[in-house]
Amino acid sequence: MCPTLSRENYFLTVINEISQHHVQKGSIEYELQALLLLVAESVRDKKGLNEATIAKINELFEQYQAVRLKVSIVPKLANLFGSDDSQGSSSEQILLHTEFVDSPDLLKRKYMEAIISLLEALERNAQLDLQTCIHCGHWFIPYQRAKVARFCSSNCRNRYHYAQRKKDKQKQQAYL
Ligand SMILES: [Zn+2]
């Protein structure tokens, strides 16, 4: 079994805060940010990932090896069945997992984890429904049962319709 590499849907958090990031053109952060947006836009626009994009992802994986393997000894989960085999060495188990080399506040690590989480989401569901809100531009994954998924929240839907009505009113008044 492959260990999970990233926090689930972490890419949404990162994409939605990109406007507050300052990255130097030509830096690895710049490349990673551009790639994250490219992949996200391809998914949103239902275009799939083409060979050039896949090659670019692999190139950056090679350039920045962000994840390493780790093995830990962890306490065994509480025994749900109450049998008494939780003594001594049997109360510990080995866990093979991965960890990021850099700390979570570093931009390049953020972008890399975001890209990985997006790829993991696509691995789980190739038809991933990714949208941008037509009112505020936020990226979101609509609830499965949402009928119309153009807004990230009911707030945005209300504000959008309020602004539309206001515009219509102004138009009407202009004709009077
Ligand atoms: Zn919104």
The CA 139 to ligand 1 mean position distance, Å, reads 8
pLDDT at 149 (0 to 100): 80
Other beta carbons less than 10 A from residue 142's beta carbon: 15
The CA 130 to ligand 1 mean position distance, Å, reads 13
The CA 12 to ligand 1 mean position distance, Å, reads 13
Please say whether the beta carbons of 74 and 93 come within 8 A. Answer: yes
Q: Which residues, at least 6 apart from 130, have a Cβ–Cβ distance to it below 8 Å? A: 40, 43, 44, 139, 140, 141
Mind listing the pLDDT tens digit of every residue in the chain (176 residues)?
578 899 999 999 999 999 999 999 999 999 999 999 999 999 999 998 999 999 999 999 999 999 999 999 988 865 555 555 545 556 889 999 999 999 999 999 999 999 999 999 999 998 999 999 999 999 999 987 766 688 999 999 999 999 999 999 988 888 77
The CA 123 to ligand 1 mean position distance, Å, reads 27
pLDDT at 78 (0 to 100): 59
Closest CA to 68 of 96, 94, 100: 100
The CA 24 to ligand 1 mean position distance, Å, reads 28
